[in-house]
Amino acid sequence: MINIFSFYHKKITHQISILLMGCIGLFLVSCTATKTSTITKDDGVLDFTIVQVNDVYEIAPLDDGKWGGMARVATLKKEYKAQNPNTFLIIAGDFLSPSVYNSLKYEGQRIRGKQMVESMNAAGMDFAIFGNHEFDIKQYELESRINESNFTWISSNTFQRDGDHYVPFTQTKDGQTEPLPENYILHLKDKDGTEVNVGFIGITIPFNKAPYVVYTDVFKAAEKNYAALKDKCDAVIAITHQAMEDDIKLAKLIPGLTCIIGGHEHERHFAKIGNVYITKADANAKSAYILHFEINKKTKQVKVKDKIIDVNETVPIDSATNVVVQKWTDIGNKNYASLGFDAAKICLTKGEPLDGREAYIRSTQTNFTKLIVKAIEKASPEAEVAIVNSGSIRVDDILHMPVTEYDVIRSLPFGGSILEVEMKGKLLTKVLDIGITNRGSGGFLQYSEAMVKDSTSHTWSLDGEAIDPERVYRVAITDFLLTGGESNLGFLTKDNPDIVKVFPEYTDKDDPRSDIRKAIIRYMESLNK
């Protein structure tokens, strides 16, 4: 007899098993489908970001801590890198000089930009090019700074002299010496596997004619290196340190460039020439350009989004970088104190911003150069004329109120005393005439407003009276000028027969003539009253 209960029990159990197996199968299929759906395929599109600064000579914030600072630049790099791992920090030249630190010593050696490289390393700098001021320092000093840097230097038209030839500058790391690349390919990959190559070239204005430097033609070098990159890269970017007009010319010459990341001017600039973006930030990291790039490998298109950010108190200070900044700030302050300066002390509280930009002070008078001349006049009341060379003013920046003693120190980092000499009128006019012909260089002279040259007769007058070639005039000048070391002024020495008398140098630290910076500080303080 058939056990009906057992029969149906087996049948039901079998059906349940089939049902369960089906459910498990569906579950596994569902899981597989879900797992498969989370695997992102290469979409052929990659985004990357560049944080751009240029012409940075100061590691600490300026204007009473309100603007700039490498620790704030470090924060920007970290914030954007957190959003996109393909984020890079680039400086478009001019950072080793001019700097107040270059006249200071640390551990027995001139600092010469060491503080900048250490701060830039801490901030996560990725790429740099030479600015013209990188060649203010000696060759061995520059080589040391290159070797100390953790970032990549790119140099397409700037080389070091080797006898009658030229060779690339080099970087030595871990015992390995490699030439700085004329161009560079950055290989990028994103989360979904898209891979692109971004090419870089680095162009420097042939401005500083240091004996160890050789410049090749800017535009030929750019064309040569672009040609070497364009078929290997999905985008080519030029990092430049030259005048805006030359960047525009470059964009027209090579319309296939994606972007020109520029420096040299100290104010923000933007232009779009065809499809080529040109960007420049404010000097001393008072602003930074943020450039977002989207490369579509399928369409061969590159999209660029740009924005400029004010680097001010709204940007937090990166603590790790600030440790380095504070180290060097303390070193500097100890040096200044030993010379009788209080770096943090405010000496001018009111007035218009003072223009110390090189492009202007080496070709005309600005409110800052006029103030410096007046400070010399005030310190040397018996002098009839005051003269200073523009090359002694190295701040290459605009000073905003309030002005501190540190601002004055960084404006004239080499200091030097004010000398008083008696010279014949014919020598005085010769010096001033050559000062005019030195327009565009550090030998362009700034002088008392009482001295005027007639544009028709080309003769000089002092307080409305024509200069008498044989009359003796008492003139206040910087000690450097009397060395004959300024451009085309080699004859201006104490041995010149037309210099009748050189008064003793003022060495008393309380005398403002002992250091031109003290004369400026004292004059500024008088303006506050």
Q: Tell me: the pLDDT tens digits for 229-272?
A: 999 999 999 999 999 999 999 999 999 999 999 999 889 999 99
Instruction: Using the predicted structure, report yes or no on whether residue 485 has a pLDDT greater than 80.
Output: yes
Q: HEC string of 413-472?
A: CCCCCEEEEEEEHHHHHHHHHHHHHCCCCCCCEEECCCEEECCCCCCEEECCEECCCCCE
Length of the chain: 529
Show the CA angle centred on residue 135, arms to residues 131 and 141, nearest 5°.
Answer: 120
Burial of 423 (0-12, 13-18, 19+ CB in 10 A): buried
Residue 128 bridge partners (DSSP): 91, 153
Within a domain: 402: yes
Residue 411: C-alpha distances to residues 213, 357, 372, 407 (Å): 26, 10, 11, 6
Domain assignment present for residue 335? The answer is: no
Which one-letter DSSP state was computed for residue 273? E
Tokens 């050559």 — which residue? 434
Residues 163 and 113 grouped into a single domain: yes
36, pLDDT greater than 60: no
Answer whether residue 304 is part of any domain. Answer: yes
Looking at the fold, whether 62 and 192 belong to one and the same domain comes out as yes
| Angle subtended at Cα 484 by Cα 482 and Cα 486, rounded to the nearest 5 degrees | 105
Residue 334 lies in a domain: no
Interior angle at CA 411, CA 527 and CA 93, nearest 5: 145
Quote the domain boundaries for residue 225.
45-326
> In this structure, is residue 266 part of a structural domain?
yes
Q: Could you tell me which residues come within 8 angstroms of residue 515 by beta carbon, excluding any fewer than 6 positions away?
A: 339, 340, 415, 416, 417, 509
Q: Are 293 and 397 found together in one domain?
A: no
When divided into structural domains, the chain yields a total of 2
Q: Does 492 lie in the same domain as 361? A: yes
Binning pLDDT at 50, 70 and 90, where does residue 358 land? confident
By percentage, how much of the chain surpasses pLDDT 70? 92
Residues 285 and 119: their CA atoms lie apart, in Å, by 13
**Average pLDDT of every residue of the chain:** 92
Task: Indicate the SS3 state at residue 188.
Answer: strand
Count CB atoms within 10 A of the CB of residue 90.
Answer: 25
- Per the CB < 8 A criterion, the answer to whether 412 and 405 are in contact is no
CA dihedral angle for residue 248, residue 232, residue 198, residue 293, rounded to 10 degrees: 70
Half-sphere exposure of 425 (CA within 13 A, CB side): 12
Q: Is residue 303 part of a domain?
A: yes
Non-local (6+) Cβ contacts of 242 within 8 A are 203, 204, 205, 218, 262, 264
* pLDDT greater than 90 at residue 491: yes
| In a domain? residue 246 | yes
pLDDT per position as a tens digit, 70-91: 999 999 999 999 999 999 999 9
Residue 420: phi and psi, rounded to 5, are: -115, 130
Pair 346, 248 in one domain:
no
Task: Please report the pLDDT score of residue 39 as a whole number.
Answer: 53
The answer on 231 and 128 residing in a single domain is yes
Instruction: List pLDDT tens digits, range 191-206.
Output: 999 999 999 999 999 9
Residues 319 and 379 both lie in one domain: no
Beta strands 195-204 and 235-241, pairing class: parallel
409 and 320 assigned to the same domain: no
pLDDT at position 17: 45
Do residue 403 and residue 451 come from a single domain?
A: yes
Answer whether residue 10 shows pLDDT above 50: no
Q: Are 272 and 252 in contact (CB under 8 A)?
A: no
Task: Give the residue from 273, 295, 326 where a domain finishes.
Answer: 326
Judge if 96 and 66 occupy the same domain: yes
Phi then psi for residue 504, to 5 deg, are -55, 145
- Residue 318: give its domain's CATH number: 3.60.21.10
CA 370 to the chain's CA centroid: 26
Measured N-to-C along each axis, helices 70-83 and 114-123 cross at an angle, to the nearest 10 degrees, of 20
Query: What backbone phi and psi angles, to 5 degrees, belong to 44?
Result: 75, 10
Whether residue 37 lies inside any domain: the answer is no
Cα–Cα distance for residue pair 104/84, rounded to 1 Å: 40
Task: Kindly report the pTM of this predicted structure.
Answer: 0.85
In a shared domain, residues 69 and 132: yes
User: At 466, which CATH number?
Assistant: 3.90.780.10
Same domain (yes/no): 100, 227: yes
Last-in-domain residue among 326, 355, 381: 326
Q: Is the pLDDT of residue 21 over 70?
A: no
| Domain boundary, last residue among 276, 291, 326 | 326
- The residue with tokens 């001018």 is 348
Contact 94, 128 (CB under 8 A): no
Report how far residue 113's alpha carbon sits from residue 101's, in angstroms, rounded to the nearest whole number.
Answer: 7
